[in-house]
Structure 1
């Protein structure tokens, strides 16, 4: 029946009618059933362009579309969280996490890393910390990627001392240091020294 749904949606637009949240969500479901997540994503983006705000049902339909294409739901959520970070959509990150929670989907390390990284890339440090705290509370083990995201993200936001605390925490947990982590830590040290020097001033 998904083909009929797609044709009906096309007719709706051809007749000059504006699709609403129900129409869009139905189309998301149709693409999900036909295992076409990219098409579902295009519909989702069209909703935003047309000022049709997605709701929890819409996000669930989009998540299902990725799942129907062979992606595990946790992987699908990770993909969506990363995409939202790149397109500067904090509200979408919130909604995706809420949709996952409502469906009792337990996020894995990759999903948490994607969410934390997306919040940090948008400058929302507090929400990134809240999500990291939730990760630890639920006993989801952080990895080198988690800490690299936290260290580099904190550094970019000018929180040099905080970034180095994450490095210390990583060392305490005996997590293997990667080249990326070393680079992020070096950057934090250099920028912290430069910041302190400018704060003290030339006449101190």
Structure 2
């Protein structure tokens, strides 16, 4: 890399992003460590890269490093970390992360949608339902995430019931696939045909 780009945070972050996309975690980490002007975007790229490459457990170590360095996580950071929790499926880790998310960010619909997905993948349908019910302005993603959570946990009838309650203008291919998958997981062949 030319000398004049070695301290450019945008160039370094872009290089990290590219390397992570190609699965070159080691060189992405090397660039990250050499960056003397790390910002929230640099940290988000690193955390997301770990997530994309199946190294989700490393995301939580970076969260601790951010805290030590005085870097405040933003909504994107929290969304990536919720995704990491979904991948590792450890409820105590999920609760630890959620307890650290500021309330103003926690109440964001995109974060709530991610929480529904996370709780569903971790087998805690009750917590997914709590997140679902807390959203006043539910969108297609909200309904699809909850339908999928039911389906992943063998609750096909509940998935069908929610799909029927879903406003018609919010139904799309994704929500339809989620309800069909829920029927498949629950052995509800007749209901899937209807």
TM-score range, shorter chain: 0.5 to 0.7
Q: Give the equivalent residue in structure 2 for 1:145.
A: 141
The residue aligned with 2:78 is: 77
Give the alignment's TM-score, normalised by structure 2.
0.59
Q: Kindly provide the CA deviation profile for residues 90-116 of structure 1, in whole angstroms up to 9, marking residues without a partner as x.
A: 2222222221246x4353222111111
2:160 paired with 1:160:
no
Distance 2:183 2:110 in 1: 27
1:179 Cα shift?
0.7
Match of 2:67 among 45, 61, 66: 61
Structure 1 length normalisation: TM-score? 0.56
Q: Is the 8 A contact 2:147 2:159 kept in 1?
A: yes
Say if 1:123 and 1:157, in contact at 8 Å, map to a contact too. yes
Alignment partner, residue 125 of structure 2: 125
User: How many pairs are equivalent?
Assistant: 146
CA RMSD of aligned residues (A): 3.7
Match of 2:177 in 1: 183
Give unmatched runs, 5+ long, in structure 2. 1-34, 51-55
Is the Cα–Cα contact under 8 Å of residues 128 and 149 in structure 2 kept in the other structure?
A: no
Quick check: which has more Rg, 1 or 2?
A: 1
CA distance in structure 1 between the partners assigned to 2:144 and 2:97 by the alignment: 23
What secondary structure is seen at the aligned counterpart in 1 of 2:188?
Answer: helix
Question: Which 5+ residue runs of structure 1 have no aligned equivalent?
Answer: 1-30, 68-72, 197-204
- 1:50-92 per-residue CA deviation (whole Å, 9 max, x = no partner) reads xxxx9xx949829x7474xxxxx22221111011111222222
